[in-house]
Structure 1
Amino acid sequence: MLYDPRLVQPMRDELTRLGVRELRTSDEVDEALGADGETLVVVNSVCGCAARNARPAVAMAMGHGKQPDRVVTVFAGQDAEATARARQYFAGVRPSSPSLALLSDGELQFMLERHQIEGREARDIAADLTKAYDQYCATSQ
């Protein structure tokens, strides 16, 4: 069962205000995740750990010197087709929401699953992201 779109809109807006691009179809996912360069995929969710930990961590990491070429999001429980397709790019990782995945040329390089997000401070999650950016991203801000 999908969540009411009115319920999730503020949670979507929290990321899109930052410039994160929403992916709502499997074609949009393939286009973004199959592109050359680095892509951060935010699997968004209605849960408290997405609100308190994951989305704020993404916002904090956006100010880091190195950045992925793209930051995109799919919404678990809302954009079912896009979320399922994105998860196909996360080979060997069980479905998890929220989660944060960094891909390079379509290949998974780094992943934070729900159990690595839940109960942690946003600044610590942002530090994990920026460390991954330093390791895998070529683009400086």
Structure 2
Amino acid sequence: MAQNFYFQQMQMMVQPMRDELTQVGFQELTTPEEVDAALQGEGSKGTTLLVVNSVCGCAAGLARPAVALSLKNEKTPAHLYTVFAGQDRDATAQARSYFKELPPSSPSFVLMKDGKVVHMVHRHEIEGNSLEVISQYLTNAYDQYCD
């Protein structure tokens, strides 16, 4: 009973953090099956941006606002997905299996083209940078890889 109450409280606390991304067009992937359907199916064709979301301060103050800002660029990814590290653990682990050669990082941004990773922005590139700099990391990649 107490564990269920804790889970419900945590879900209520992180919902606004989820909403920041879904309100700008991201689709949440909460299960491994949803991850596979997105990253192996139609979502693997063209460009895909996967955001590994997090509850940390750099996600709230930098990562989520920067990715929202980046979507104002002329070129943007065709598909926008997100998993939530620490919340949807199985989905996050499954998403990371698509780029297991890269170290896990939360928050992070992974740009894929036709199912292959072409660019990643890690937490250490987010922390200590401005929204504009982080957004520029993304828009530079969009300009290079997105149609």
TM-score, normalization by structure 2: 0.89
* Aligned counterpart in structure 2 of residue 135 of structure 1, from 127, 138, 144: 144
Q: 1:21 is matched with which residue?
A: 27
Structure 1 Cα separation of the partners of residues 115 and 35 of structure 2: 10
Structure 2 Cα separation of the partners of residues 5 and 38 of structure 1: 30
Structure 2 Cα separation of the partners of residues 55 and 44 of structure 1: 8
Q: 2:45 is matched with which residue?
A: 36
User: Could you list the per-position Cα deviations for residues 34-70 of structure 1 after superposition, in whole angstroms to 9, with x for gaps in the alignment?
Assistant: 2211100000000000011110111101111101111
Q: Which is worse superposed, 26-35 or 78-87?
A: 26-35
Q: How does 1:62-101 map to 2 (within 5 A)?
A: 62-101=71-110
Which AA in structure 1 matches 2:60? A
TM-score, normalization by structure 1: 0.93
Q: 1:10 is matched with which residue?
A: 16
8 A contact 1:99–1:114 mirrored in 2? yes
Structure 2 Cα separation of the partners of residues 38 and 32 of structure 1: 12
Considering only aligned residues, what root-mean-square deviation do their CA atoms show, in Å?
A: 1.5
Q: How does 1:101-112 map to 2 (within 5 A)?
A: 101-112=110-121
Task: For residue 79 of structure 1, report the CA deviation from its aligned partner.
Answer: 0.5
Structure 2 Cα separation of the partners of residues 91 and 82 of structure 1: 14
Structure 2 Cα separation of the partners of residues 134 and 83 of structure 1: 27
**Which runs of 5 or more residues in structure 2 are unaligned?**
1-6
Task: For residue 94 of structure 1, report the CA deviation from its aligned partner.
Answer: 1.1
The percentage of counterpart residues that share the same residue type is 55
**Which runs of 5 or more residues in structure 1 are unaligned?**
none
The ranges of structure 1 where at least 4 consecutive aligned residues each deviate by more than 6 angstroms after the TM superposition are none
Relative to its length, the structure with more helix (as a share) is 2
Bigger Cα Rg: 2
Q: 2:57 is matched with which residue?
A: 48
- SS of aligned partner of 2:110: strand
